[in-house]
A and B are shown apart, each in its own frame.
Chain A
Amino acid sequence: MRNKLLAAALASLGLLSTNALAQTEIQWWHSMTGANNDKLNALATKFNASQKNYKVVATYKGQYGESMTAAIAAFRAGNAPHLLQVFEVGTATMMAAKGAIVPVAKVMADAKEPFNPKAYLPTVTGYYTDLKGNMLSFPFNSSTALFYINKGAFKKAGLEPVAPKTWKELNAAAEKLKASGQECVYTTAWPSWLHIENFSAWHNVPIGTKQNGMGGFDTVFTINSPLHVRHIAMLGDMAKKGLFTYAGRTNQGDAKFASGECAMFTGSASALGNIIKTGKVDWSVNFLPYHDDVKGAPQNSIIGGASVWVMGGKKADDYKGVAKFFAFLSRPEIQMEWHTGTGYVPITMASYELTRKSGFYDKNPGLDLPIKQLTNKTPTENSKGLRFGNFVQGRTVIEEELEAVFSGKKEAKAALDEAVKRGNEILRQFEAANK
């Protein structure tokens, strides 16, 4: 009996090892949680079942910042994963690490996988593409910023339940909402991403020189322009009048809107899932407000989210598997599955068309809004994305200065001047470290 068991155990071990020999494992570190994590694992399982040679092993490694830190440490120790999901603000850091990463364009070309960069949405891939048009990382989960209103609160204030289109209209509605006893009138998530980064793209003004840093590391911030100052001063004013409630640096605003506490909200498109699930608010989702006296506004918004980077130093055969996996992920039906399951935007036009034809948007109004806003106009140098070194620190600096305005400690002009000065020091340091 015992021998039989042993034999069985050995046999199964043998089986396992032959399996492992035949299959090349591709390690993928990511930061998806909850339902998105399930969807991601489903993609990996589906890919693994679709062919025999490669096996994608997806591992959750903590939040974006944590998984990037983990991968950097692993790289320094010589055992980095093949694939790493990196948030958009880490793009410049990854891109500068030439020996540590392999551009996606090169992976696809080396493996001779069919690959047409033109098939992808320019606002999405623009963020992750170099000036020569080579895709550096694979856009995986992208969202954008949207504007939500609580229609119930609007009706209560005697307003038409229609979202204000401009900041002027928003302010007028805010006064009425306040007068009707609404305590939190307007709030926002991700203040820098919303009110500096997306704001600039939406109004077609630069965030930094050199095409928002895409043209080189010798870029400087330009977020203290008169338009920026005017916008932040307006928010400071609204805060003073009790029309704007600051919620925090990340997505704390989401809950304030979903619970019905705040009547208007700007935040990520990914907040929608939670708003629907909470089910407390009669919501509508809309394009971001703009200043109507700015020429060319509204332009298009920019993305947030993450892309998948290919790490260097692996075997050539491993990269073939990576290329196959990217080709798999680009398929319209796979993209549609990811898009409809998570709310992230589809990254190819074909998958958007496929989703539209399936009638998904008729059943789920609002879910096509991100892509409509991202493709509102052909992206300009100011609106195709941004690439600043050490932008994790840069964003913190911007947020600190914005908080100083919202709490009434600083004037908008002084705060934005300071943000530019401090931000530029960080950029210069990054430039020096990556010569």
Chain B
Amino acid sequence: MEKRVVFRSAWLPYALVAPQIAITLVFFFWPAAQAVWYSFQLQDAFGLKTQFVGLQNFAALFKDSNYLDSFKVTAVFSAAVAVCGIAISLLLATMADRVLRGAMAYKTLLIWPYAVAPAVAGVLWAFMFAPSIGIVTYVLKGMGIDWNWIIKGDQAMLLVVIASVWKQISYNFLFFLAGLQSIPKSLIEAAAIDGAGPLRRFWTIVFPLLSPTTFFLLVVNCVYAFFDTFGVIDATTQGGPAQATNILVYKVYHDGVKAADLGGSSAQSVILMFIVIVLTVAQFRFIERKVQY
């Protein structure tokens, strides 16, 4: 016997998904297609003269050693943001899940940063870590650390990673918390009765059962690090010092919006799009196998 609900009408299912498809087409596929189209063109800023240049924009990018360096920077940055973001929020979620009194207050506070815009987050952190006036700088100086991300590339990278991770922790936290709450208490209790300590219970029961959530967050956080972090960078380091924090998406923003070089910027965003597609497919093909639904 057929248990699934089936539409009898031929057109109704399509009509029902049409709004979603329309939104996807207009807001995702249309701009993406435009980016691809612009990436083959050379235009002046005002769009008065347009030439079709084929793959020239791409060739110019791959000839530029600084652009190639920016891949390395992006890889380091994205890995750091995704791994730290997931690890810290998993820790926080596990802790918050165990809190009995005032749990609501903890949870609410942990969710707050999500409401802060990336640029604002960047400014907040930039102030706290500002080389001469920042409060954190002052404390670090007391500890004998010369904090000056304006000229020290490693520190600049650390700053943008911290700001980006902080911004994303709430989101990850929410998902982990929901995941934790859906794990049957009886399983954990049974393990506890069998004599498993908290750490062992976490690694053998909770973590595997959370794996779908973790996997989902891995994909989302990678996409976040690749695309959504330019606000943080723009508000703090603007890609500097030298090239230390010039991640791919910031260069797209700088060249396209600030420098009005549409062709070059579009070519970069097409490359970026391609990377993220490959990365997501790879994640689904190789990592998802380890996920237990």
Given contacts A249-B240, A400-B242, A403-B151, contact A433 B43 (CB under 8 A): yes
Given contacts A393-B261, A425-B60, A429-B261, contact A409 B242 (CB under 8 A): yes
The segment from A96-104, A171-179, A219-227 that touches chain B is: A96-104
Whether B150 contacts A400 by the Cβ 8 Å rule is no
Given contacts A400-B240, A422-B66, contact A393 B150 (CB under 8 A): no
- Residues of chain B within 8 A (CB-CB) of A75 are 46-47
Q: Which residues of chain B from 158 to 180 have a CB within 8 Å of any chain A CB?
A: none
The 8 Å CB contact of A429, one of B60, B133, B239, B246, is B60
Shortest B46–chain A CB gap in Å is 4
Given contacts A93-B260, A261-B132, contact A434 B44 (CB under 8 A): yes
Residues of A in contact (CB 8 Å), total 42
The 8 Å CB contact of A432, one of B42, B150, B240, is B42
Shortest A69–chain B CB gap in Å is 6
The 8 Å CB contact of A72, one of B45, B66, B153, is B45
Main secondary structure of the interface of B (DSSP, over half): loop
8 pairs, A vs B, C-beta closer than 8 Å:
A75-B46, A93-B260, A98-B48, A99-B48, A393-B259, A403-B241, A422-B64, A432-B53
Q: Give the residue name and chain of the A residue nearest to B47 (CB).
A: A76
Whether B242 contacts A69 by the Cβ 8 Å rule is no
Main secondary structure of the interface of A (DSSP, over half): helix
* CA distance in complex: A40, B110 (Å): 45
Shortest B197–chain A CB gap in Å is 48
Shortest A314–chain B CB gap in Å is 15
Given contacts A422-B64, A429-B60, A433-B51, contact A72 B241 (CB under 8 A): no
Given contacts A403-B240, A422-B66, contact A390 B259 (CB under 8 A): yes
Q: Which residues of B contact A (CB under 8 A)?
A: 42-49, 51, 53, 60, 64, 66, 131-133, 150-153, 238-243, 246, 254-255, 257-261, 263-264
> Does A256 make an interface contact (CB < 8 A)?
yes
- Residues of chain A within 8 A (CB-CB) of B150 are 246-248, 252
* CA distance in complex: A390, B64 (Å): 17
> Does A58 make an interface contact (CB < 8 A)?
no
Q: Give the residue name and chain of the A residue nearest to B63 (CB).
A: A425
* CA distance in complex: A239, B148 (Å): 13
B interface footprint on A382-417 (CB within 8 Å = 1, 0 otherwise)? 000000001011001001110110110100000000
> Does A435 make an interface contact (CB < 8 A)?
yes
